[in-house]
Structures are given as structure tokens and as C-alpha cells.
């Protein structure tokens, strides 16, 4: 008889009992691990961390949340975008004056840490539950290590509303990401 196929790395990761704690249901923890895995290996995020307790109140979160640092900036507020474009334009003009410019609009943004909410596609949610999640998170996720270089950077003054990246896992293990923001935030000019 043929031996059963070896489990995939993802399957062995989410099934590893050493990864599980007693704070949340195993299904929610394995969901968080699956999204964590996807972020790490498919989207090359760094400084990923699974949170079981709120950084604000230190209470148990409704479900494990993830925080991490994308490779490039995930979200630019439209007003910030206008400001960045103006700055880039000023730099380009200054370089042109010096004669060394290559006439490229160089927009500089630093990546920012993001909150992630892992969910499954079939789950039923309510505004109440979503609101509870937003109440437990801080504006910017705490950094992975206290002496992280990211924490030395000044806070982005444009980041004024809480936001969470909604990570929805479908049964075929596709993960889609949507940005959910607290309150009215006008759309990006993409």
C-alpha cells in the first residue's frame, strides 16, 4: 500500500501543537497562522507577530490578530498623496536646477506596520463584532521588538484613523486583503 502523502509545510505548521496556546480556539489560531504564513512567504512581509491580547487594555482579543511590516507602503491617504507629489515635484525641480536631475518624480514613502484581521470566507459577522475589534487595537501596531528601527521613525501625521487589513481566507486557501478603516475615509485616487 502507498504511504499517505506527506503533509504540506503549511499543514504541518498550522497543526503543530507547539504553536498553539490556550487563549483562543485552535481553529482561530490555525487561521492566524495560515494568514501569517501567506504574508511571510507570498507577500514577503517582515516583523510579523500574532497578538492574543489587546495592546491598549491588555485584555484577550476576540480572536488572534496579526501585525506586520509590508515591503512597501500599503496605504497612502489621498491627502498625503497630494503632499508627497508636491514634495517630489519640488525635489525634481531643485535637481533640474542643479543640472543633475534625471527628471524622475521620486515619491518617497516608508512602509508602515499594519494590523491584520484573519477571517474565513464563510463566517457571519456583524457591525458589533467588527466594532469590538476596532475598539481593542491601537492606531499603529506595537513593533515586534522594543528597539526596532521602525519605532525610531516619527509617526506618520496623516495616519489619523484606525485601520485593519482584512485577510479573508477562502476554502481553497486563497487569501484576499482589504483595507477596512474606522469612520469616513475618502477613497484613494488610484
User: Which residues contribute to the site for other proteins (CB under 8 A)?
Assistant: 43, 70, 74-75, 119-128, 130-131, 134, 165-166, 168, 176-190
Closest to other proteins by CB, 12 or 181? 181
Output 21 or 173, the one with its CB closest to other proteins.
173
How many other CB atoms sit within 10 Å of the CB of residue 3? 5
Strands 60-69 and 114-120: antiparallel
CB of 116 vs other proteins, minimal distance in Å: 10
In the complex with other proteins, the residue whose CB is nearer, 173 or 181, is 181
Min dist CB 97 to other proteins, Å, is 35
CA atoms 58, 60, 63, 66: torsion sign: positive
Nearer to other proteins, 53 or 159 (CB): 159
**Nearest distance, CB of residue 100 and other proteins, angstroms:** 33
57 three-state secondary structure: coil
Report the greatest alpha carbon distance in the chain.
77
Contact, 32 vs 10, CB < 8 A?
A: no
Amino acid at each position: 500500500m502507498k504511504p499517505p502523502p506527506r503533509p504540506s509545510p503549511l499543514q504541518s505548521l498550522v497543526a503543530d501543537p507547539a504553536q498553539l496556546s490556550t487563549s483562543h480556539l485552535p481553529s482561530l489560531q490555525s487561521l492566524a497562522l495560515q494568514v501569517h504564513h501567506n504574508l511571510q512567504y507570498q507577500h514577503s512581509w517582515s516583523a510579523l507577530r500574532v497578538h492574543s491580547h489587546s495592546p491598549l487594555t491588555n485584555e484577550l482579543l476576540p480572536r488572534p490578530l496579526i501585525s506586520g511590516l509590508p515591503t512597501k507602503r500599503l496605504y497612502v491617504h489621498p491627502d498625503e498623496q497630494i503632499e508627497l507629489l508636491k514634495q517630489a515635484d519640488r525635489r525634481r525641480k531643485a535637481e533640474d536646477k542643479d543640472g543633475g536631475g534625471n527628471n524622475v518624480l521620486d515619491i518617497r514613502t516608508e512602509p508602515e506596520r499594519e494590523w491584520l484581521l484573519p477571517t474565513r470566507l464563510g463566517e457571519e459577522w456583524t457591525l458589533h463584532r467588527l466594532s469590538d475589534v476596532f475598539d481593542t487595537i491601537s492606531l499603529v501596531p506595537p513593533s515586534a521588538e522594543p528597539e526596532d528601527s521602525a519605532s525610531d521613525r516619527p509617526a506618520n501625521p496623516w495616519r489619523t484613523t484606525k485601520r485593519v487589513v482584512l485577510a479573508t481566507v477562502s476554502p481553497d486557501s486563497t487569501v484576499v486583503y482589504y483595507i477596512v478603516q474606522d469612520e469616513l475615509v475618502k477613497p484613494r485616487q488610484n
